[in-house]
Structures are given as structure tokens and as C-alpha cells.
Amino acid sequence: MSEDAKTLAAGEYAALGLLKRSRMHGYEMARTAREEGLTEVCPLEQSALYGYLNNLEAMGLVAWTESRQGRRPPRKLYRLTPRGSAIVDGWLASPVTRMRLVRTEFLAKLHILASIDAAATAPLIQRQLSVCERYADSISSTMSEASGLPRLVAQSRHSAALATIAWLESYLRELQPPVGAPA
């Protein structure tokens, strides 16, 4: 992943993900994000979105063409550049590295990926499960050595990790048809 891509906000990645589906006007992107519930997990309101689009354009990840309809003022029709497409592909394939991002960025990623390539969602969930399991194991090993508040913090983090793992496993089962069922 390039240095620019490492500095992208979750909302910028989500904007790239929406453009991976199709070219869109900024207003259409904001409406789509709101209607699909993406604004629940990523800041994609119209005011934030236009800031993201300006940043993404400056980084060479999106470009636009002018679009006119009748006597209305011209509007920008945004599209991914090849570089933007490669960066969003990498983002969509990668699990998040921090547990707190599972309930925000990972959910946005999962939603967008399901609309682009539904077959890729189960492998992403499996990769995320591996990350969460490693995290839970690392916390578990520190819990026995800690006492007082550090132990409570470790216990809290461990139980949150276990709950996330249980949810990911449950969702993965929902995605996979029962054995013997027609595909």
C-alpha cells in the first residue's frame, strides 16, 4: 500500500468503494451512503464527502468529468483512476488491524465488498477472524500477569474480542449455504 493510501480516512476509502461500483455525482454518493446506512459507520454526509473527494482528487485517486442536464448548472461526475481502483481493491481485501475498527471501517468495507464481489466477503471475514483471534490470544496471555486496573482493562478487551469473534463466526455461517443445499 502506498504512503498516500495509509493516510486515507475510512470515509475516503468508503467513497472510493462507492465509485468502484459506478461513476457518481457527489450528491448521489451522499444519498447512496445515507440510504444504505453507510453513514452509521462512516462519516459520509455530504459536507464531509466533498472534502474527501477533493483530497482524493489531489492524490490522483479520483477524477471527474463535467456533466450537464438542460439548463442546470454543470456537475462533476466522479470516477476512480486506475491508481484509485488499485488502492480500494487493496483496502477491500484487507482486514482491519484494530478491534475498534471492526464496528466501523470493517462494516463499511464488508457492505461495499458484498455489493461489488459477494464471493469475496467470506474470505475477508476469515482473514478478519484470524486477526481478531491473534488479538484475543495476545490479550489472554497478558491477563494472567496483570493486576488491578490493567487486569480489568485486559479482561474487558478480551471479552470484546471474543464477542467480535463470535459475531464474525455467526455471520460467516449465515453466508455459507448448508451442506447439500443448492448453490
Q: How far apart are CA 92 and CA 171, in angstroms?
A: 18
Q: Per the structure block, which three cell numbers stand in for 157?
A: 478487551
Q: How far apart are CA 27 and CA 33, in angstroms?
A: 10
Please answer whether residues 62 and 78 qualify as being in contact, where contact means their C-beta atoms are separated by less than 8 angstroms.
Answer: yes
63 and 9 inside one domain: yes
Q: Per the structure block, which three cell numbers stand in for 137?
A: 490470544
26 and 75 inside one domain: yes
pLDDT in tens, the chain (183 residues): 555 556 899 999 999 999 999 999 999 999 999 999 999 999 999 999 999 999 999 999 999 999 888 888 889 999 999 999 999 999 999 999 999 999 999 999 999 999 999 999 999 999 999 999 999 999 998 888 899 999 999 999 999 999 999 999 999 999 987 777 665
Any domain includes 183: no
33 and 88 inside one domain: yes
Q: How far apart are CA 117 and CA 115, in angstroms?
A: 6
Chain-centre distance for alpha carbon 78:
20
Domain count, the chain: 2
Supply the range of the domain harboring residue 45: 3-95
